Amino acid sequence: MATLAQSATEPERATARESRFFLIMAFVMAGIIVAGFSLQLAMGRSSFASPLVVHVHAVVFMGWVVLYALQNVFAANGSMALHRRLGWIGAAWMVAMVVLGTIVTVLMVRRGQAPFFFLPAQFLIFNPLSILTFAGLTTAAIVLRRKTEWHRRLHYTGMALLLGPAFGRLLPLPLLIPYAHEATFIGVMLFPLIGVVADLRRTGRIHPAWLWAIGTIIGLQLVIETLPYSSAGAALYRTATAGAPGASVAPLDYPLPPTGPLITGRAPST
């Protein structure tokens, strides 16, 4: 009888261990994002002189970090009604993130203010595509919300994609030219790989959701590595910068570093 009781509770223990893993990792990811942007502020690299849309974008994206952490808290303590209600708020929030992230990227490129450690054409492409891929993984997680194992892993991998800007502030990207973007990609990829290792240790197998999610991120990276150098990428850059200062910036040359301190929004050297 004791064996039967123990066997009956084993699935519950496994679910609790899995919930604890995703809860811990949610706070780890939130901590990395807060650390990246706090470092930017502490080193005097942030400027409140940026356009209003940049500040709205920052508030919305940080709001998602809070939503994601809360979702994992509710899932871990069994508050599924709150988890579901907040999930629908998150679905609408995600749309705002895609729109604002794309607007801010195009704005920076049009102003000739793409970060100098990225190729302007590459920055124009990888930022919106990364956000769209995040939205795609998150939408898939919502569609598969009744399949908890898929839901958690797809949500988690989508969240990992948002770590790119934080790693961009924590890593010495100017010293990593011409591999600055690849460095942030490695940082992002660590998280689904940690999930794979956790699955192997917990169950001895890799859940297929990880394979789909990792394959999606690798596909994204291949597009980012090729599209900026294509005729389609050149046409996209011309369209985005038409009639703006960014049109005079070579899309496939690294801009000069800004004069003075490295402050977000400061125009590059001429």
Per-residue pLDDT tens for 110-166?
999 999 999 999 999 999 999 999 999 999 999 999 999 999 999 999 999 999 999
Domain positions in the chain: 17-30+49-243
pTM for the full predicted model: 0.89
Distance CA 101, CA 49 (A): 18
CB neighbour class for 229 (10 Å; exposed up to 12, middle 13-18, buried from 19): middle
Over residues 69-84, the mean pLDDT reads: 90
Please report, for the chain, how many H helices and E strands are present, in that order: 9, 0
Mean pLDDT check: name the lowest of 46-60, 63-77, 177-191, 220-234.
46-60
pLDDT surpassing 50 at residue 1: no
Mean pLDDT check: name the lowest of 5-9, 156-160, 235-239.
5-9
Q: Please report the pLDDT score of residue 52 as a whole number.
A: 87
